[in-house]
Structure 1
């Protein structure tokens, strides 16, 4: 019997083409102490009716208007009762049925506040376009543009009460800002799982246009200044450069 309870939160909005794959990857996990929460932003397509098919496996299913993806994540966190919380977006899915067992073992075998791993970016045909190999966290490495992939980020639920939730003021960089705040600024302990945990569909919101990309860079910069990155303009250059090796 696994005693560490993991809350997995999926946030969705008009995700009828991907939500089922995401749900199935959660409910097929071989870890037996999982609390699954879906927070939907009042989708106008069949996202909710697809989720309803799996209602027996979902602890909480909410569909109501929200202020965006990070507001939905905060709603999920407020409803979570697990020892550990992770986010799996509606267009992402676990790489296999052992992911949550690996995450739970990492928490139980290492006295750590945070666990993260590696991630693959997947094209619509299922092939891998990029491999995000995180590497172990070293003090100060955020100054060099490093960050762990947010879909692989799991932390103890108590941290949200102590260090805060996702801050909507940071727009598309709210996940980056939270990880900066927890790891870089507050020096919370981390453990790196040297395995791919999540497959992520390509094409995030912040990359869809030049205007969105520019806004994302401004939010990144704001997050860096807020969390005392040593020299944000330089870090802003390093951050996208670190992604280049993911293609090779």
Structure 2
């Protein structure tokens, strides 16, 4: 199964080598990297040019943010499955895409464990996200997969459609919710750490960003699941994350 990996970046010279190294180190041969660059002015494009081009698509032009760039990637990829690897994140080891491919042989969606790390040299883990199968009421219970580990078959991506650009930090949550809850695609857990994610992303770098993400996630549940002004997941979702720091 050919797996396409979408990487969006802008002025990512400080981190993107780790991301690219982890992609090209994958022992799964049928792979494609789609890089959507937002018009970098640093050394990002020069770094990308030093890597093999036969497995890479590159688009570099101004965009309206991460989700706009991801939508461009969804229009470009050629694989049978697709997921996202952020330009400051890495695959955990060489076997990740092979594990994803195996999972997608039995399900429409696969997701797995995620480690939050301080940096990719020391790889000191500060938080561990452990994936779990979808509970009976899914996103209504505060459950969600880790988006950087979330890979889907092409039919899922085509059915769900583009990321919602009106959501600034939780459009990935909304996209997964639509795939799992609205369209009912089945999922499986890889049972392995798939991604090392650097702390400090758009939805995790501050208390304010956490609050904004939770409010946007509530907006998504209200739109698609009929949630009220306040629902159970608004409290349960942050509470689920507290134990990630204790693992």
Query: TM-score scaled to structure 2, two decimals?
Result: 0.93
Instruction: Check conservation: 2:82, 2:151, Cα contact below 8 A.
Output: yes
Distance 1:44 1:37 in 2: 19
Residues 213 and 102 (structure 1), Cα distance of their counterparts in 2 relative to 1, 3 Å cut: closer
For structure 2, the residue ranges without an aligned partner over 5 or more in a row are none
For structure 1, the residue ranges without an aligned partner over 5 or more in a row are none
Distance 2:10 2:76 in 1: 19
Displacement of 1:57: 4.7
In structure 1, the partner of 2:223 is 226
CA deviation profile, 1:20-69 (whole Å, cap 9, x unmatched)? 00001001111111011111111121111111111425421111101110
Instruction: Check conservation: 1:118, 1:133, Cα contact below 8 A.
Output: yes
Distance 2:129 2:161 in 1: 27
| Alpha-carbon RMSD | 1.5
Greater Cα offset, 96-105 or 214-223? 214-223
In structure 2, the partner of 1:37 is 34
Greater Cα offset, 139-148 or 115-124? 139-148
Deviant stretches of 4+, over 4 Å: 229-232
Residues 160 and 209 (structure 1), Cα distance of their counterparts in 2 relative to 1, 3 Å cut: same
| SS in structure 1 of the partner of residue 33 of structure 2 | strand
Displacement of 1:220: 1.5
In structure 2, the partner of 1:115 is 110
Task: Name the one with the larger helix percent.
Answer: 1
Match of 1:238 among 236, 239, 246: 236
Query: TM-score scaled to structure 1, two decimals?
Result: 0.93
Residues 221 and 197 (structure 1), Cα distance of their counterparts in 2 relative to 1, 3 Å cut: same
